Amino acid sequence: MVMKEDEKRQTAFHEAGHAIVGLLVPSHDPVYKVSIIPRGRALGVTMFLPEEDRYSQSKENLESQISSLFGGRIAEEMTFGSENVTTGASNDIKRATEIARNMVTKWGLSARLGPLAYGEEEEEVFLGRSVTQHKNVSDDTAHAIDEEIRTFIDRNYDRAKNILEENRDKLQTMSDALMKYETIDSEQIADIMAGRTPRPPETWDDDSAAPVPGGGLATGDKKDDGKQSGDTIGDPAEQH
């Protein structure tokens, strides 16, 4: 797939937004690669790799994930204006909302609602994937759940926005590096976050201004609203 220059630039800012927020919030998995080369149905990807196996996650880590998920949309809005934000963040929004909802209704991480489970579902096996949901909360409790989900979302959206506003120079530098190299790894990312000019990737050939053949860069199809793999909590994550 051949991307238009303006679409490529918007994707670069989107992925840079994910990466920078993920790098600067606490307890987040490290960023090890950012790419704007289409893969699957996504135009770009930001890859996070846990430093060790994780079988459970803290409230701090979950909130940091929510913040980083909104980094892409916020970077687009800051750079191109609210009227030019794309649909590429729709899956990010869905995933952030799912994390916040689970924090409130499944994992007992809301101080207001406490360690209770809300909205239990029963699957009827003979109907395949059909699910019957029994209402087991009052209207007042349902309203409180919605308010708590909104609280988690708003708090982490605002945090991500503040981080990117304070690091506009790094956002610009990382998007420029992505426009030039298309894929950057932990070395270039470390250069950018330290305020240095990012070094060229090892597979980069300055003479041809293109990646050296055999460099392992993937190609893909058109952009989806989100992530291809790693949705399970605790797995290596990819954000689009």
Residues annotated as catalytic are 15
Between the CA of residue 201 and those of 78, 173, 175, 206, 209, what are the distances in Å?
A: 28, 15, 15, 10, 12
Q: What is the DSSP string of 71-134?
A: HHHHHHHHHH-GGG--GGGHHHHHHHHHHHHHHHHTS---TTT-S---S-EEE-GGGTT-EEE-
188: nearest Cα among 179, 177, 180: 177
Q: What are the backbone dihedrals phi and psi of residue 111, each rounded to the nearest 5 degrees, phi first?
A: -65, -30
Chain length of the chain: 240
C-alpha 37: how far from its chain's center? 16
Alpha helix segments (H runs only) across the chain? 5-24, 59-80, 90-105, 139-166, 168-181, 186-193
Q: Contact 99/66 with Cβ under 8 angstroms? A: yes
